[in-house]
Amino acid sequence: MSISAPRYVQGSVPRVGRPSRVLAIVEREFRRRATWGPIFAVALTWFIVVLEVVVTVYFATVIGGSVSAAFESPYGSVIWVLLLLIVTATVGAGSLADDIGSRAITLYLSRPLRISDYLGAKASAVGAWLVIAGVGPGCVAAAVTAALGYVSVSEALAAAAGCVAVGLVLAIFFTGIALALSSLTRKSLYAGVAIFGTVLSVTVSVGVVWGITGNGTLLYADLLADVQSIAEAAFGQPSPYPTDPVASAIVLVLTGCVLALLAWWRLSRIEVVGE
With residue 63 as reference, give the H or E element that holds it: helix 36-63
Burial class (CB in 10 A: 0-12, 13-18, 19+), 257: middle
Angle at 263 between CA 133 and CA 118, to 5 degrees: 75
| 58-77 positions binding other proteins, by CB under 8 A | none
> CA-CA distance, 27 to 21, in Å (whole number)?
10
Nearby residues of 84 by Cβ (< 8 Å), 6 or more positions away: 45, 130, 133, 134, 170, 171, 174
Closest separation in Å from C-beta 5 to other proteins: 6
Instruction: Please report whether residue 273 would count as binding other proteins according to CB under 8 A.
Output: yes
- Interface with other proteins (CB under 8 A), residue from 32, 79, 215, 265: 32
Using the rule CB under 8 A, give the single segment among 8-16, 68-76, 81-89, 147-155 that binds other proteins: 8-16
Using the rule CB under 8 A, give the single segment among 82-90, 110-118, 176-184, 244-252 that binds other proteins: 110-118
Contact 130, 87 (CB under 8 A): yes
- Interface with other proteins (CB under 8 A), residue from 1, 8, 149, 212: 8
Closest separation in Å from C-beta 164 to other proteins: 31
By beta-carbon proximity to other proteins, the closer residue of 24 and 202 is: 24
By beta-carbon proximity to other proteins, the closer residue of 4 and 154 is: 4
Closest separation in Å from C-beta 121 to other proteins: 9
By beta-carbon proximity to other proteins, the closer residue of 15 and 211 is: 15
Nearby residues of 112 by Cβ (< 8 Å), 6 or more positions away: 21
Instruction: Please report whether residue 265 would count as binding other proteins according to CB under 8 A.
Output: no
Instruction: Please report whether residue 110 would count as binding other proteins according to CB under 8 A.
Output: yes
By beta-carbon proximity to other proteins, the closer residue of 110 and 154 is: 110
Contact 86, 38 (CB under 8 A): no
Contact 25, 35 (CB under 8 A): no
Contact 252, 219 (CB under 8 A): no
Contact 253, 107 (CB under 8 A): no
Contact 70, 60 (CB under 8 A): yes
Determine how many CB atoms are found less than 10 A away from the CB of residue 92. 32
Using the rule CB under 8 A, give the single segment among 47-55, 104-112, 130-138, 154-162 that binds other proteins: 104-112
Using the rule CB under 8 A, give the single segment among 10-18, 150-158, 216-224, 241-249 that binds other proteins: 10-18
- Interface with other proteins (CB under 8 A), residue from 16, 62, 63, 212: 16
By beta-carbon proximity to other proteins, the closer residue of 37 and 207 is: 37
Q: Using CB under 8 A, list all residues that contact other proteins.
A: 5-11, 13-17, 20-21, 24-25, 28, 31-32, 102-104, 106-115, 271-274
